[in-house]
Amino acid sequence: MFEVKLKDSKTFTCESSETIFQGAKRNGILLEHSCLTARCKSCRALIIKGQVENIQDEFVLSSEEKELGYTLTCNAKPCSDIELDIEDLGSYNIPDTKTIPAKIDAINYLKKDVVQIVFRTPPAQKLNFLSGQYVNIIKADIKRSYSIANSLRSDGKLEFLIKNYPGGVMSNYWFNEATIGDLLRIEGPLGTFFLRNIANVETVIFLATGTGIAPIKAILEKLAEQEETLKTEIYLFWGGRFTPDFFWEPEFKKLNLKYIPVLSRSNQDWTGDIGYVQDVVIQQNINLTNAQVYACGSEAMINTSQKLLTDNGLQESNFYSDAFVISN
Ligand SMILES: Cc1cc2nc3c(=O)[nH]c(=O)nc-3n(C[C@H](O)[C@H](O)[C@H](O)COP(=O)(O)OP(=O)(O)OC[C@H]3O[C@@H](n4cnc5c(N)ncnc54)[C@H](O)[C@@H]3O)c2cc1C
């Protein structure tokens, strides 16, 4: 049994047979995470002191990150007492995960390869969640992760923005078979992609590619529900390949929001920004030293943004991400 110490001085015990994430959870401590299978980097942590053994190769970490001493808490088992540069997220009161039945309430094709699916849930079993979290949608023996695209609603409905992955098992269901009234199961909420305390933050930057806009839409909806107009400067950079990729329009009068859609390549009718979202953030000359960044979508965008933005003044601990990696 080893002792794990966090940045906020919290400590917990961890068996050599369990991962740091499991040890923390067993002790009532919640660490940042998403996929929990070493496929994304949400649970990346810097080891300040001590040694760990990895269950599988941490291929999502770059060799530079490995050399610096980063590990994935969902994949690392302690071999000594350790100290990590991460904090307990317990104070955010994340609702417990449960599995509930859910019926398809609406199916709207927003463009050829993106569908909005709305589920209704039983009134007695509404799913409580923090805006930005995701769930697993279960259909018989298929289970896939999807981010909830709305903030908590009083009617318990859950909206999802789903992309068609050609040849994908669940994609085939969403785009060819799904019918209003179909009964599936939803397991959640999951992950820790939600808004942190922004009271002392100058700028909040959201980066999305494709349907990675889903949890960001949910977070913006939640922010816009506040009584007073929020003064914090908010940027939303949304990357797509073609203009129809911007299938949702952010309209939040109560937010000081600057929305910048970004096409990855030039297009005759396009007068907006061109390139990659992270490069356009740099072009905007935003002071990143007192900013928080929330990135969701492709792994490539997340990895490149994290490096570029931290190289340009963003604190490592102020970058939060949810990568839409392939489901298990
Ligand atoms: C935390 C999390 C949240 C997610 N939220 C959303 C969401 O809100 N909206 C959404 O559209 N998707 C989301 N995804 C992705 C989703 O879980 C599935 O991966 C995706 O819908 C494909 O499932 P499928 O059964 O159609 O494809 P599969 O049958 O699983 O795969 C078929 C083929 O498609 C390709 N493929 C599958 N998934 C991906 C992927 N994620 N990236 C690149 N290529 C892939 C691969 O080549 C694979 O071989 C999320 C993933 C995670 C981990």
Q: Which domains does the chain have, with CATH numbers?
A: 2-92 (3.10.20.30), 98-190 (2.40.30.10), 203-323 (3.40.50.80)
pLDDT tens sequence across 155-197: 999 999 999 999 999 999 999 999 999 999 999 999 999 999 9
Token duo for residue 109: 């094709």
Question: Which atom of ligand 1 is nearest to 162's Cα?
Answer: 11
Relative to the CA of 299, which ligand 1 atom is closest?
42
> Helices (H) and strands (E) in the chain — how many of each?
6, 19
Q: What is the pLDDT of residue 326?
A: 86
Residue 327 pLDDT > 90, yes or no? no
Q: How far is the CA of 39 from the centre of ligand 1 (A)?
A: 12
Q: How many CB atoms are closer than 10 A to CB 180?
A: 11
Give the residue, out of 113, 137, 324, with the most ligand 1 atoms within 8 A of its beta carbon, to mutate for a pocket test. 324
Instruction: Confirm or reject: Cβ of 322 under 6 Å from ligand 1.
Output: yes
Q: What is the pLDDT of residues 65-96, one digit of tens each?
A: 999 999 999 999 999 999 999 999 988 989 99
* pLDDT over 70 (residue 328): no
Q: Ligand 1: distance of its center to the CA of 174 in Å?
A: 12
Q: What are the pLDDT digits (tens) for 311-325? A: 999 999 999 999 999
State mean pLDDT over 17-44. 94
Query: Is the Cβ–Cβ distance between 219 and 212 less than 8 Å?
Result: no
